[in-house]
Chain A
Amino acid sequence: MTEQSTSQTIAVPELSADQFVRVGVDEQLSEQLQRPSISYWQDGLRRLKKNRVAMLSLGLLAFIILMCIFAPLLYPHPFDEQNIDMTNQGPTWQHIFGLDDLGRDIFARIWIGGRVSLAIGVVGALVSLLVGVLYGGISGYFGGLVDDIMMRIVEILVGIPYMVVVIIVSVFLGKGMTSLLLALCMTSWTGLARLVRGQVLQLKESEYVMAAKVLGTSSYKIITRHLIPNTMSLIIINTTFSIPGFIFAEAFLSFLGMGIQPPLTSWGAMASLGQQQMAYYPHELIFPALALSVTMLAFNLLGDGLRDAFDPKLRQ
């Protein structure tokens, strides 16, 4: 810095050479980044945090999940306790959501039912995520004959109406949570498998994967470094949307009497019971229906927010 250049004194009396300092070009400084670099995930998270609706949904979901875990432990009335002399009672301070036709506390049952509904949603989504990603990934990565055969199988499975599959399987395995989950998982993974396959096929052809191959990167590293991170956003968005799908399907089947069986309950099963009492005791339908709808709403809005934040197509 102190190195003075050969000064060219020009005939301007006010300015002299020693008033100037040569800055020069510092190559290291010009290479330095002005702002911290933001990775794809950080950027997505930042967008998500800005999205008020999505954050509110996230908070709501957290609240519902916490209530499902802790409310039954703290609330004084167990979900299967009967008060025969107070059946169909409306909301009171003692039973804040009222009692159902068998005198059971609806507030307590909402959270027990929520455990079942949410568990089915989350477990179902995770299973179909695992199967879908593996199936689609293998199919897309290997391509050729393997891909052909695997996709033919998917096309056949897609053609099967899932409601019918669920009903037939629950006839076959008996009603209950396991058969319900199994039946729901049987066909639900195909959509994700197709998505992942398409994405992997596309990525495989991209320049940076080719560059990685040319540089001698192993298959394992290509899969874990390039293919999986780049399909991750798709997978997360899809899974967020499939959770409410499972909750919906469970509610429908329980409503028809083919899902969760008493004494256990779920939001769908509670709504089914409430619907029969609806004419005179609407609170028995309204509270479970509200719990179901609010949860679905939150998942859908969160899914929308995630898509806006992470979907590469929408980000531009």
Chain B
Amino acid sequence: MLKYILKKVGYLVVTLWIILTATFFMMYTMPGDATQSSMKVLPEAVAANLKAKWGLDKPVGEQYVIYLQNLLQGELGESYTTPGLTANTIIEQRFPASLQLGLQAVALGLVLGIVLGILAALHRGHWIDFLTIFIAILGVSIPSFVFAALLQKYAAGGYFPIVGWVTSGSSLADQFKYTALPTLSAAIGGIATYSRFMRSSVLDVLNNDYILLARSKGLSRFQIIRRHVMRNAITPIITIVAPQIAGVVTGSFVIERMFSIPGLGRYYVDSVNGRDYPMILATTVFFSFIFIFCMVVMDILYALVDPRVRKGIIEGKKAR
């Protein structure tokens, strides 16, 4: 088991290194640098000073080594367009909003998705089954920005504000008021994916002999569902939650923009459009880290939860 975890962490490090190296050199070859980015022509000496300050006069290899050293000390870089603003500060300020939105969206998606999926599978052909299928198909066919726009147009304006976000000290009512619509828009894809997955997973489990055995033992319907169906049907969902969580936490770029949420995703898009290379690099590395970290944690969790997978790993087979 320990070997498996170490292997996964090894992948994390290698993948992250590849991403940051590739991004670093791509950003390096981009035309323009800090001295040209602020639209005004700087005097020669000032430009040289600035270059020296940011280490841009050194050869690229040396810059890369310096960058890696800084990164190992936790320094992600400093903005060109807003001198003095470090990426660390930005992440500290901006990430909590993204994280809150992401976690709420995943939680909502999981709860609604799992409940709908189970209900649909247990009542095949019932209206709730059709409702679930309908939501599942619609959820993957309507982009979240369209869904968000429709919510803004038709649901917001009264009780729910159209745009905006909470500050850390807001009351619970405010929290709900401001985060409900963005969370719902970010969760719609998740609800669709999970409910569909859960439905087929439960149907799969119901066909097994041990359900028949449980029924013939005289267990109640509720007990069968809770003890036998749920436990077996829910574990595989971990495999699809991993990319989803990472995707929601890092990928709510669109939702953050539409609801004017001061999150990191929005800052990322802004820094890309503003060509603020050190910040692009820093946020890319940070997002990638979060993404890969989630994937690795989920892989390990899956192995811990499902005895079949655990056994496979211990016996040296490939976990699938």
Contacts and interface: CB of A to CB of B under 8 A. Distances in A.
B interface SS class: helix
Interface string A152-188: 0001100111011001100110000000000000000
B15 A156 contact: yes
A112 B301 CA distance: 47
A275 B287 contact: no
Contacts of B273: 257-258
A279 B153 contact: yes
Nearest to A257: B273
Interface stretch (B45-53, B63-71, B140-148, B225-233): B140-148
B42 to A, nearest CB: 24
A252 B145 contact: yes
B119 interface: no
Given A172-B30, A292-B146, A293-B142, A252 B153 contact: no
Contacts of B288: 160-161, 164
A292 B143 contact: yes
A301 interface: yes
Contact of B141 (A159, A275, A297): A297
Nearest to B142: A293
Contact of A159 (B12, B251, B269): B12
Nearest to B257: A256
A161 B291 contact: yes
Contacts of B247: 161, 163
Contacts of A193: none
A296 interface: yes
Q: How large is the interface on A (under 10, 10 to 19, 20 to 34, 35 or more residues)?
A: 35 or more
A285 B152 CA distance: 12
A160 B247 CA distance: 11
A271 interface: yes
Contacts of B12: 159
Contacts of A297: 137-138, 141
Contacts of B257: 256
Given A248-B143, A258-B272, A301-B137, A159 B295 contact: yes
Point out which of A156, A161, A251 has the most chain B C-beta atoms below 10 A from its C-beta: A161
A69 B36 CA distance: 45
B26 interface: yes
Nearest to B26: A172
B140 A252 contact: no
A244 B139 CA distance: 13
A272 B257 CA distance: 11
A251 B149 CA distance: 14
Contact of B254 (A255, A278, A300): A255
Interface in A115-170: 155-156, 159-161, 163-164, 167-168
A312 interface: no
A282 interface: yes
Interface string B1-18: 000000000011011001
A282 B18 CA distance: 44
A271 B295 CA distance: 32
Interface in A168-217: 168, 171-172, 198
A227 interface: no
Contacts of A275: 145, 149, 258
Contacts of A159: 11-12, 15, 291-292, 295
Contacts of B27: 171
B192 to A, nearest CB: 10
B319 to A, nearest CB: 11
Interface string B248-259: 001101100110
Given A161-B247, A244-B140, A297-B137, 6 more contacts: A159-B15, A167-B284, A168-B284, A251-B145, A275-B145, A289-B149
Interface of B: 11-12, 14-15, 18-19, 22-23, 26-27, 29-30, 137-138, 140-143, 145-146, 149, 152-153, 246-247, 250-251, 253-254, 257-258, 268-269, 272-273, 275, 280, 284, 287-288, 291-292, 295, 320
5 contacts: A163-B253, A168-B26, A248-B143, A252-B254, A300-B141
Interface of A: 155-156, 159-161, 163-164, 167-168, 171-172, 198, 244, 248, 251-252, 255-258, 268, 271-272, 275, 278-279, 282, 285, 289, 292-293, 296-297, 300-301
